[in-house]
Amino acid sequence: MLTATRTTTMLPVEDAERAGRFYADMLGLKPVTTNPDGTRIFALGQGDALGLMPAEKGAQTGHTVLSFEVPDLEGEIRELEGRGVRFDDYDLPDFKTTNHIAVMGTERAAWFHDTEGNILCLHELSDSEV
């Protein structure tokens, strides 16, 4: 069944080499291989993977494409900011961030973009959700 399989999340990137450097150097993901079509594969936790698939400019979407669950949101933000990652801030009528973090019930989250315009997220669940 599909529930017992490993997954590979595929993200469209205009420049796979540039994106690969971002995911390896800025986010600390481990490169695994580069496929013949130029897709760069990175290891994720639990045996899953991330594929950076060459695509035309504009193939990215306007919503979050990947979210990393972390145990210490503030610590991860500090570490990534130290590597040069810039987090987004929002001040909308129904959605605000403080110090890059939005609180949504029992979840807290922060968003940033990769070099290709993909929207990525860090999120932390409260102890009652874990």
Q: What is the structure's pLDDT at 16?
A: 94
Q: What is the structure's pLDDT at 17?
A: 95
How far apart CA 44 and CA 39 sit, in angstroms, is: 15
Strand partners, 10: 51
What does pTM read for this prediction? 0.90
Q: What is the mean pLDDT of each run of 10 residues along the chain (130 residues)?
A: 85 96 97 96 93 93 93 97 96 94 95 96 79
DSSP strand pairing (40-43 vs 49-54): antiparallel
Q: What is the structure's pLDDT at 128?
A: 55
